[in-house]
Chains A and B, each alone.
Chain A
Amino acid sequence: MITVDLDKSSVRDLNERLHRLPPETNEKAWRVVNPKGAHALCAGLTVPIEVTIDGHPGYYCAGMNKEATVVVNGHCGVGLAENMMSGEVRVKGNASDAAGATGRGGLLVIEGDAGLRCGISMKGIDIVVGGSVGHMSAFMAQAGSLVVCGDAGSSLGDSIYEARLYVQGKVDSLGADCVEKKMTPHHLAKLEQLLARAGIKADPKRFRRYGSARRLYNFHVDNVDAY
């Protein structure tokens, strides 16, 4: 394992080293210490390596991740794993706002709580949150799944498209065009798989599913009160 101490090395140096790794690299295991709130840590990784960050990164940790596995032994700032393409990002602590924003693929696991707008505009990513999420989570979510083992704040899934939302706890309120949907055996199986992949123990049968009523997919004046 290669250890990079951010007290002795800059984020730029670290990211540059990681960006230069070829896909077939054998330098696959990395450890980053002393992140101390640094922004854009491990942003733009595109090779299947494993990076463990010991401490608390700032904004946009693992942004646009592709292929890599990033584990954070700490809490994360705004925009964790934004626009992630594939791979896996796991946070042992909590995440701030907009975690997994516009994510297109891969798995984001937040073992603690996530702030507001978790999964905003998500486009295919799977997000599993061990705790609760803040308001406007999954706003304009297009595709993928958001699993919340705790509670969800107000306006969950506002203006949602085809993403699937699963919440075990209480939902403060649903946003425009978001409705509760029947949990079918198919959805139960998918949820069970997601929880298993995330390594989070929870009973899928305790979750409720939410999704789009599809009333806003094409404008009609009779639905104007929903906007």
Chain B
Amino acid sequence: MSAPTSPTPMPPRRSATFDEYAIAEIHRAAATGIYDIRGFGAKRRVPHFDDLVFLGASVSRYPLEGYREKCATDVVLGTRFAKKPIHLKIPVTIAGMSFGALSGPAKEALGRGASAMGTSTTTGDGGMTPEERGHSSILVYQLLPSRYGMNPDDLRKADAIEVVIGQGAKPGGGGMLLGQKISPRVAAMRNLPEGIDQRSACRHPDWTGPDDLTIKIQEIREITDWEKPVYVKVGATRPYYDVALAVKSGADVVVLDGMQGGTAATQEVFIEHVGIPILAAIRPAVQALQDLDMHRKVQLVVSGGIRNGADVAKALALGADAVAIGTAALIALGDNDPKLEEEYRKIGSAAGCYDDWHEGRDPAGITTQDPELAKRLDPIKAGRRLSNYLAVLTMETQIIARACGKSHVLNLEPEDLVALTIEAAAMARVPLAGTSWIPGQSGGL
């Protein structure tokens, strides 16, 4: 009789609930007594445009010839009330990002890149800077709850006004620009002392609901002599009702920002756990516009994790009139560039992971107010990188649109799409691939 063999030692088992990130965060919270604040957008995987595919043309549809047949990309925003609507050459705009969160050269580069492609940029929580206005051929001026930097002269210098009610990274939340980024210039623009944390309010100070918003929009129109389109921006949470109320309030354009949308500095728990993905938000928003007979009359701009022309095309196919990019635009300027790997390592991060935008130590010189770091970004070269990227996004969108037989990118439609997962099919309200089944809707084979 042989001696019993000892059992194979079990490998250590990690908890799926308390994974390495959860454990690290608990230790960090216990050591510091403050929640984690960071920039960037949601990092965990959520249902996204990747879960949809285009059907393309074959026998039942007739494609257009790539590079030979015209596929238009122009978009007009603000056709409802404004005397001077916005004409964009491409259906991609630059989302609102503040001077303060971003350096002056970064804002200039955004203006240069967008203007080269005939599209707009947007101010942010810090107000309008001369370099931004000077280098942006079309500039949208944000009216935020904080009202930092707000004044009637800049209101009139703008090409459109965007009333910001919320953003995708933190719907229902205010902003937080930590003291380390409050340079003398930022402090002066915001009427606050240097070096203190600047909390932006989560709600507007002088109106409390959609009835008031109607009157607020009327005031903005009066001040700007009804020339400028008025956008209303909401974070994606209850898109059907929020879009309907924005339309009722008199918006010319509704901007809808999904949970993957970026932020300069917000609590990690907020970024990852509040709001819904843009994939799930577009169809209810379009439904609201259609129910009010306002689709294409009040334009819809969507944002939140747009990366490539396929994302743009899918957003347009689901009913948006244009998309806005924020994080992707910063990456195009040079944010998280692998060439800076060594410097990212020195500050405890890595290229591709860097999200401590609130600390002001950005080696790329983009999310900083340190003059030495900011000097690293050449606004001309960075602007060129952005215009290149915008050109690629546009060409990719056109390629897909032509393949679907469309002579204008806005002719893309839900029928051009199917979903690869049941979740995406339900959220985007398109059939699961290979079936005619749209979860949540009756009928189907």
Task: Determine which of B150, B152, B190, B191 lies in contact with A44 in the assembled complex, contact meaning CB atoms within 8 Å.
Answer: B152
B322 to chain A, nearest CB (A): 29
Asked if B372 CB lies within 8 Å of chain A CBs, one says no
Asked if B183 CB lies within 8 Å of chain A CBs, one says no
In the complex, the chain A residue whose C-beta lies closest to that of B146 is: A121
Q: Which residues of A contact B351 (CB under 8 A)?
A: none
Asked if B206 CB lies within 8 Å of chain A CBs, one says yes
In the complex, the chain B residue whose C-beta lies closest to that of A103 is: B147
B residues 109-154 in Cβ contact with A at 8 Å: 146-147, 150-153
Q: Which residues of B contact A220 (CB under 8 A)?
A: 33
| Residue interface mask A86-102, B partner, CB < 8 A = 1 | 00000000000110011
Q: Which residues of B contact A12 (CB under 8 A)?
A: 222, 226
In the complex, the chain B residue whose C-beta lies closest to that of A39 is: B215
B222 A40 Cβ-Cβ under 8 A: yes
Q: Once the chains are docked, how many angstroms separate the CA of A16 from the CA of B221?
A: 11
Asked if B192 CB lies within 8 Å of chain A CBs, one says yes
Q: Once the chains are docked, how many angstroms separate the CA of A218 from the CA of B179?
A: 7
A161 B222 Cβ-Cβ under 8 A: no
Task: Determine which of B151, B197, B199, B226 lies in contact with A83 in the assembled complex, contact meaning CB atoms within 8 Å.
Answer: B151
In the complex, the chain A residue whose C-beta lies closest to that of B223 is: A44
B196 A101 Cβ-Cβ under 8 A: no
Task: Determine which of A11, A39, A104 lies in contact with B191 in the assembled complex, contact meaning CB atoms within 8 Å.
Answer: A104
A117 B215 Cβ-Cβ under 8 A: no
Q: Contacts A39-B215, A64-B155, A104-B151 hold; do A162 and B193 have CB atoms under 8 A apart? A: yes
Q: Contacts A59-B215, A140-B201 hold; do A11 and B207 have CB atoms under 8 A apart? A: no
A residues 210-224 in Cβ contact with B at 8 Å: 216-222, 224
A217 B225 Cβ-Cβ under 8 A: no
Q: Which of the four size classes fits the interface of chain B?
A: 20 to 34
A residues 32-70 in Cβ contact with B at 8 Å: 39-40, 43-44, 46, 58-60, 63-64, 66
Q: Which residues of B contact A78 (CB under 8 A)?
A: 206-207, 212, 215
Asked if A204 CB lies within 8 Å of chain B CBs, one says no
Asked if A85 CB lies within 8 Å of chain B CBs, one says yes
Asked if B375 CB lies within 8 Å of chain A CBs, one says no
B192 A101 Cβ-Cβ under 8 A: no
A89 to chain B, nearest CB (A): 14
Asked if A197 CB lies within 8 Å of chain B CBs, one says no
How many A-B pairs fall under 8 Å by CB? 115
**Which of A83, A120, A218 has the most chain B CB within a 10 Å cutoff?**
A83
Asked if B205 CB lies within 8 Å of chain A CBs, one says yes
A102 B147 Cβ-Cβ under 8 A: yes
**Which of B151, B191, B201 has the most chain A CB within a 10 Å cutoff?**
B191
Q: Contacts A64-B151, A83-B147, A219-B197 hold; do A39 and B32 have CB atoms under 8 A apart? A: no
Asked if A142 CB lies within 8 Å of chain B CBs, one says yes
In the complex, the chain A residue whose C-beta lies closest to that of B148 is: A123
Q: Once the chains are docked, how many angstroms separate the CA of A123 from the CA of B151?
A: 12
Asked if B20 CB lies within 8 Å of chain A CBs, one says no
Task: Determine which of B152, B192, B226 lies in contact with A161 in the assembled complex, contact meaning CB atoms within 8 Å.
Answer: B192
Q: Contacts A78-B206, A121-B147, A142-B191 hold; do A59 and B201 have CB atoms under 8 A apart? A: no
Q: Which residues of B contact A216 (CB under 8 A)?
A: 197
A residues 118-142 in Cβ contact with B at 8 Å: 120-121, 123-124, 139-140, 142
Asked if A19 CB lies within 8 Å of chain B CBs, one says yes
Q: Contacts A83-B147, A101-B205 hold; do A43 and B193 have CB atoms under 8 A apart? A: no
B residues 172-221 in Cβ contact with A at 8 Å: 179, 190-193, 195-197, 199, 201, 205-207, 212, 215-216, 218-219
B150 to chain A, nearest CB (A): 6
B223 A43 Cβ-Cβ under 8 A: yes
Q: Once the chains are docked, how many angstroms separate the CA of A140 from the CA of B148?
A: 12
Q: Which residues of B contact A217 (CB under 8 A)?
A: 179, 193, 196-197
Q: Once the chains are docked, how many angstroms separate the CA of A220 from the CA of B195?
A: 14
Asked if A159 CB lies within 8 Å of chain B CBs, one says yes
Mostly helix, strand, loop or mixed at chain A's interface? loop
Asked if B1 CB lies within 8 Å of chain A CBs, one says no
In the complex, the chain B residue whose C-beta lies closest to that of A11 is: B222
Asked if A106 CB lies within 8 Å of chain B CBs, one says no
In the complex, the chain A residue whose C-beta lies closest to that of B180 is: A218
B219 A98 Cβ-Cβ under 8 A: no
Task: Determine which of B33, B199, B215 lies in contact with A40 in the assembled complex, contact meaning CB atoms within 8 Å.
Answer: B215
Asked if B59 CB lies within 8 Å of chain A CBs, one says no
Q: Once the chains are docked, how many angstroms separate the CA of A43 from the CA of B224?
A: 10
Asked if A113 CB lies within 8 Å of chain B CBs, one says no
Q: Which residues of B contact A40 (CB under 8 A)?
A: 215, 218-219, 222-223
Asked if B353 CB lies within 8 Å of chain A CBs, one says no
Q: Which residues of B contact A19 (CB under 8 A)?
A: 225
B313 to chain A, nearest CB (A): 40
Q: Once the chains are docked, how many angstroms separate the CA of A101 from the CA of B212?
A: 14
B147 A218 Cβ-Cβ under 8 A: no
B184 to chain A, nearest CB (A): 15
Q: Once the chains are docked, how many angstroms separate the CA of A2 from the CA of B166?
A: 43
B residues 308-359 in Cβ contact with A at 8 Å: none
Asked if B16 CB lies within 8 Å of chain A CBs, one says no
Q: Once the chains are docked, how many angstroms separate the CA of A39 from the CA of B216?
A: 9
B34 A79 Cβ-Cβ under 8 A: no
Q: List, sorted by A's number, 17 A–B pairs whose CB atoms are closer than 8 Å.
A: A43-B219, A63-B223, A64-B151, A78-B206, A78-B215, A83-B150, A83-B152, A98-B206, A104-B151, A117-B206, A121-B201, A123-B147, A142-B190, A161-B196, A217-B196, A218-B197, A221-B34
- The chain B residues found within 8 Å of chain A, CB to CB, are 32-34, 146-147, 150-153, 155, 179, 190-193, 195-197, 199, 201, 205-207, 212, 215-216, 218-219, 222-226
- The chain A residues found within 8 Å of chain B, CB to CB, are 11-12, 15-16, 19, 39-40, 43-44, 46, 58-60, 63-64, 66, 78-79, 82-83, 85, 97-98, 101-102, 104, 117, 120-121, 123-124, 139-140, 142-143, 159, 161-162, 216-222, 224
3 nearest A-B residue pairs (beta carbon)? A221-B33, A44-B223, A98-B206
